[in-house]
Amino acid sequence: MNISRTTLLLTRPEAASFRFRDEAEARLGAFGAVVISPLMEIVPVDFELPEPLPADWVFTSAHAIPEIAARIDARGRRAWCVGARTAQAAGNAGFGLCSVEPDVTSLSARIRAARPDGLILHAAGRHRRGDLVGELSAAGLQAQTVTVYDQLERPLSPEAQECLMTPGDVLAPLFSPRSARLLRQAAGGHVARLHAVAISQAAAEEWEAMPRERLEIARTPDADGVLEAMVSLFDADRSA
């Protein structure tokens, strides 16, 4: 692959896609083209919070934090987070940080080891993997989930459809199992060589590479891990 002849297809929500585009071009250089076509839209939903408000909050995505910060005073409350970006958003909102882990499995183990007293509230999206609250409850902790946003499906844009139906190399980072599944379904019958970089094994399992296409899995489940995996896909001379 050659970066100057490769289209970068980003399907995260728009703000996250623009941010990742800038990070990718700073790390790898300029792509032949960048197409941003979110397959999901983050939409707030109505929710009720328990009273009294808990001291311990779990955030597995930064998308939940603005919805919570708009409703409560976070000062004096503790946040358990997946990912550095989520932790930064929680800190900016006023939460004290207890732990920052790379994935839900590690965070669950950390919380179970710490055994905080009182209710642990997981503020999350409607679509989520695993059963964090179930694991905490099985360990004898008091835990509850509140759904504060939804991730609505969106079709590929005409520009994205066109790039997939045009011969050439297209690189698509896959940041979740659901986004991998949605892109696989939307890209059926594609003509381009659609190479993928999955953020995790779970995301990779939702993908199906065609002959002459590649699938890489990030060594760490975060944007930096995805970027490192992207580097391996390109020739040493990316400007040739």
**What mean pLDDT is predicted for residues 93-104?**
94
42-151 folds as Rossmann fold (3.40.50)
- Alpha helices by DSSP H, listed for 70-210, are 84-93, 104-114, 132-138, 158-164, 177-186, 201-205
**What mean pLDDT is predicted for residues 100-123?**
96
The amino acid that residue 170 corresponds to is V
The amino acid that residue 151 corresponds to is Q
Q: Is the pLDDT of residue 237 over 70?
A: no
Q: Is the pLDDT of residue 74 over 80?
A: yes
pLDDT digits (tens, 9 = 90+) for 209-224: 899 999 999 999 899 9
pLDDT at residue number 234: 80
Mean pLDDT over each residue of the chain, to the nearest integer: 94
Q: Is the pLDDT of residue 50 over 50?
A: yes
Contact assessment for residue 10 and residue 37, using Cβ atoms and an 8 Å cutoff: yes
pLDDT at residue number 126: 94
The amino acid that residue 235 corresponds to is D
**What mean pLDDT is predicted for residues 196-202?**
95
Give the 3-state secondary structure of residue 5. Answer: helix
pLDDT at residue number 1: 83
Domain span(s) for CATH 3.40.50.10090 in the chain? 3-39+154-231, 42-151
Q: Is the pLDDT of residue 240 over 90?
A: no
Q: Is the pLDDT of residue 9 over 60?
A: yes
Evaluate the omega torsion of the peptide bond into residue 52 and state whether it is cis, within 30 degrees of 0.
yes
Q: Is the pLDDT of residue 236 over 80?
A: no
pLDDT at residue number 239: 43
pLDDT above 90 coverage of the chain, percent: 90
Q: Which of the residue ranges 1-5, 44-48, 160-164, 199-203 would you say has the lowest mean pLDDT?
A: 1-5
At residue 128 the predicted structure's pLDDT band, cuts being 50, 70 and 90, is confident
pLDDT at residue number 232: 84
Dist. CA 92–CA 69, nearest whole Å:
10
**What mean pLDDT is predicted for residues 145-162?**
97
Q: Is the pLDDT of residue 235 over 80?
A: no
**What mean pLDDT is predicted for residues 39-59?**
96
Closest CA to 53 of 144, 152, 179: 144
Architecture of domain 3-39+154-231: 3-Layer(aba) Sandwich (3.40)
**What mean pLDDT is predicted for residues 187-199?**
96
3-state secondary structure 195-211: EEEECCHHHHHCCCCCC
Dist. CA 195–CA 216, nearest whole Å:
8
